Structure 1
Amino acid sequence: MGHEELLARHRAVMPDWMALYYEQPIELASASGRRVTDREGRTYLDFFAGILTNAVGYDVAEISDAIRSQLATGVLHSSTLYLIRSQVELAEKIAELSGIPDAKVFFTNSGTEANETALMLATQFRRSDQVLALRNSYHGRAFATVAITGNRGWSASSLSPVKVSWVHGGYRFRSPFKDLSDADYVKACVADLREVIETTTAGDVACMIAEPIQGVGGFSSPPDGLFGAFKEVLDEYGILFVSDEVQTGWGRTGEHFWGIQSHGVTPDAMTFAKGLGNGLAIGGVVARGDLMDCLTANSLSTFGGNPIATTGALATLNYLLDHDLQANAAKLGERLVDGLRDIAADRPAVGDVRGKGLMIGIEMVGPDGAPDAARAVAVLEGTRERGLLVGKGGLYGNVIRLAPPMSLTEDEVEEALGILEDVL
């Protein structure tokens, strides 16, 4: 069956609002390393990794062998009503890596579910339904996470179980504070935060939730130190701080294992997902013990932390650490950004190249500097035609997103730069 026939069947039974890439969508049939092959036999260098999820790459023996060993036991599932050894071992490792004092971990099936859990914990702990979120943010597709998503293109409903107040800071390129120095930008955003608390809330806010680098928002980020400065204000009011590490965790930003560490602050909780499973469905929350234990009703997760997912995730995490993929992300990310900025120097259609590690955004603009989504689509299609898969996002749909597996090689960076130079 070719792509055209499968697309027709897809459209007949799948929702219209479930997006597909490309004018002629493709089905991925096999993969190895950093390359995927579609059902019609075309092979591509993958620079989006299943939306940052295949963090290590494809067909990694150490991870596949671990999953097969669990499958061989016959125990694919048991629920959290029973002890799960791989779940406990994974939680121990994440709690230690988090840097959060007396940390405890709860596993879910996705980043959306992780953020829903974090909101439930924070609102219960603080006995408040007020939440601070950043403009241009994205935190998931469920009821509460849509409510705290500050991006109209991904906000499907105005209904909300929480009262949200919006602050500046995450998307600098089109911010009213864009032309300020780093230090003055931070001061302006901190002043905005304080004013938002004083004028739009009752003061007893449950939490602020923020992505250190906004993922769907186009891999945009504030100057280092902003969230540290925010935390000082939040502490004055007793407001909890939740770092959404769904896209920035596991060393992808290169300089740190968690994105929030660039800001010199330890959050009260962090949410995670995507890269931890290297393709398996897993997410979770790591939080202070008193925060995690604040629920007074019974709860569990039928599938969260299941033996297959946690066995694969533990193998993925061990592989990331044993092979120091964080250092590889830092080294090759720097080369990728430098190469893209060289390419962009004489291409006015590229308004901005930004990012950290292997999490890089290319913002496409028109002659007047306005967002140009059509050019981003042209880049998306042009790279696919030349054998490179990239992502797309941003508030205006005009940002190309690059997030290859962290096991990327130098030769593959140069290959991708050559394709991007041709297309741009």
Structure 2
Amino acid sequence: MKDLVHRLPQKRSIVTALPGPKSAAFAERRRAAVPRALSPQLPSCVVDADGGVLVDADGNSFIDFASGIAVTSVGASNGRVADAVAESAHRFLHTSFMISPYESYVAVCERLNELTPGNHERRTILLNSGAEAVENAVKIARSHTGRPAVVVFEHAYHGRTNLTMAMTAKSAPYKSGFGPFASDVYRAPMSYPLHDHLDGKTAARRTITMIEQQVGASNLACVVIEPIQGEGGFIEPAPGFLGAVVDWCRDNGVVFVADEIQSGLCRTGDWFACDREGIVPDLVCTAKAIAGGMPLSAVTGRAEIMDAAGPGGLGGTYGGNPVTCDAALAALDQMAELDLCDRARDIGSIIHEVLDPVAAESGRIAEVRGRGAMIALELTAPDGAPDKAYTSAVQAACRDAGVLILTCGMNGNVIRLLPPLVINEELLREGLGVLTDALTDRA
């Protein structure tokens, strides 16, 4: 994997106790100003970031295996993106596209229309967040079909707005105490090969039977699925599952929506996770990595479906802000020019090379799964039960040693690895070594 040149030294260095004095003072300010629901995992105040590192106010340098939750794929301060933001901001910071349009919005839509799967005519709308993209995909599907129902899946995560909380599976901390939720949302069984031991077609028949019996195709506007689930545990369905669900949707006039917010834009080694099996969704939701860290999301889909809503039916004040659009164009250019799909595949190969032998020997790692730079480890107790405490201990040990990792899964027993796609190999291997030590020392 070719090393890239970065602005900051690409090294791990913990020079103070964590948190250091400046970060400790910052934490006091944070607790006094910010509600407790926002509880950061890193007990530091980040002041700089580049490539594969985060630097805090006390001079500690952490290896970043989180990427701002899969956002900073091109790096947290990519020079091309930063220059595009600065140049754009000096022209104008905002003029709502719904009132006085501008070229960069259209250019981003054109790029996404070209990149998303399929050869059909496409349209794109730009928005602010992943949850907003999912909500608009549902609106568009309902407008197109004239039907109300939405099917989502076990372990799904789609956001924190009222509708997307209904679509999200996990209660605490995302839903508990926040109801009532939007209606006409139904949850179908997901293909989870580690636990259900079903091939893709068998798992799909189970899912389709549930939909037909409990929802009915004539009532169903859309099926919404993450091709590789994110917060639910980086669950990759068995081959053939997605294709069978797509075929059923086509046969029944149901809109198939791929939530590629975390898995899309080179993260899994393809532009979109759907590409691996040749899946062509009707609508694709993107966000996270799309603008290199600036807030932007999109829904891209078949022209006849996207055009179902009438004039004024879709939009928002800030959606497709001109500065974020210019950032997105630069980020998408960097993804192509740096061949981040290929780098993601290389990152995945290195992760498997290092962690597969650890999993084979430990007895505490049920599975190393995922694709590209979207890899997870599902951790268990010696008796095979999910082990959240072990997972949390490993995460804490990595953090204290200077490596930031995330956890996920319905039982909180999955470690997820989301390094920036521009991370250099030496730093990647060093971070994996820290993770290996933490897994071994706490097993």
TM range (shorter): over 0.9
What SS does the aligned partner of 1:352 have?
strand
In the TM superposition, residue 323 of structure 1 has moved relative to its aligned partner by: 1.1
What secondary structure sits across from 1:106 in the alignment?
Answer: strand
Q: CA deviation at 1:170?
A: 4.3
Code of the residue aligned with 2:278 in structure 1: it is G
Please point out which of 57, 73, 76 is paired with 1:58: 76
TM-fit CA distance, 1:18: 2.7
Name the residue aligned to 2:27. 7
Q: Distance in 1 between matches of 2:204 and 2:111?
A: 34
Q: Which runs of 5+ in 1 are unaligned?
A: none
Alignment-derived partner of residue 202 in structure 2: 188
Count of residue pairs the alignment pairs up: 413
Q: Distance between the aligned counterparts of 2:175 and 2:191, measured in 1? A: 17
Q: Spell out the pairing of 1:408-423 with structure 2 (5 A cutoff).
A: 408-423=423-438
Q: Distance in 2 between matches of 1:40 and 1:341?
A: 35
Which residue number corresponds to residue 287 of structure 1?
301
Q: CA shift at 1:236, angstroms?
A: 2.2
Per-residue CA deviations over 1:85-110 (Å, capped at 9, x if unaligned) read 11111111110111341111101111
Aligned equivalent of 2:291: 277
Q: Look up the SS of the partner of 1:206 in the other structure.
A: strand
| Counterpart-to-counterpart distance in 1, 2:301 and 2:157 | 21
Identical columns (%):
32
1:399 corresponds to which residue?
414
Cα displacement (A) at 1:17: 2.6
* Aligned partners of 2:190 and 2:207 also within 8 Å: no
1:306-351 Cα shifts (integer Å, max 9, x gaps): 1110001100000100110110111121121221111222212222
Deviates further, 57-66 or 376-385 = 57-66
The residue matched to 2:280 in structure 1 has which SS? coil
CA contact (8 A) 1:131 1:162 kept: no
Can you list the C-alpha shifts for 1:105-144, whole angstroms capped at 9, x where unaligned? 1011110110010011111211122111110000000011
Matched, 1:140 2:149: no
Aligned partner of residue 246 in structure 1, secondary structure: coil
CA contact (8 A) 1:136 1:170 kept: no
Instruction: Select 2:126's aligned residue among 107, 118, 124.
Output: 107
Alignment of structure 1 residues 1-400 onto 2, 5 Å: 2-21=22-41, 25-73=43-91, 75-80=92-97, 81-100=99-118, 101-153=120-172, 154-156=174-176, 157-174=178-195, 177-178=196-197, 180=198, 185-204=199-218, 205-254=220-269, 256-296=270-310, 298=312, 299-400=314-415
Q: 1: distance between equivalents of 2:193 and 2:409?
A: 12
- Calculate the aligned-residue CA RMSD, in Å: 1.6
CA distance in 2, matches of 1:62, 1:155: 38
Paired residues of 1:244 and 1:271 also in contact (CA < 8 A): yes
Asked if the contact 1:252/1:329 (under 8 Å) is kept, the reply is yes
Are the counterparts in 2 of residues 277 and 309 from structure 1 also a CA contact under 8 Å?
A: yes
CA distance in 2, matches of 1:394, 1:268: 27
Q: Is the 8 A contact 2:156 2:168 kept in 1?
A: yes
Q: Compute the displacement of 1:297 (Å).
A: 5.3
Given that 1:123 and 1:206 are in contact with CA atoms closer than 8 Å, whether structure 2 keeps it comes out as yes
The TM-score, its normalising length taken from structure 1, stands at: 0.94
Counterpart residue identity of residue 133, structure 2: A
Instruction: Name the TM-score, length of structure 2 as normaliser.
Output: 0.90
AA at the equivalent of 1:276: I
Preserved CA contact (<8 Å) 2:117 2:281: no
What is the alpha-carbon distance in structure 2 between the residues aligned to residue 99 and residue 217 of structure 1?
Answer: 24
Aligned 8 A contact 2:117 2:274 in 1: no
CA deviations on 1:134-162 (whole Å, 9 max, x unpaired) are 10000000011111112223334453334
Per-residue Cα deviation, 1:346-390 (whole angstroms, up to 9, x for no partner): 212222111100001111111111111111111111111111111
Residue deviations 1:154-173 (CA, integer Å, cap 9, x gap): 33445333412222224333
> Which SS does the other structure have where 1:152 is aligned?
coil
Paired residues of 1:224 and 1:262 also in contact (CA < 8 A): no
Please tell me the residue identity of whatever aligns with 1:307: P
* Cα distance, 1:262 vs structure 2: 2.0
Cα shift at 1:290: 1.3
SS at match of 1:281: coil
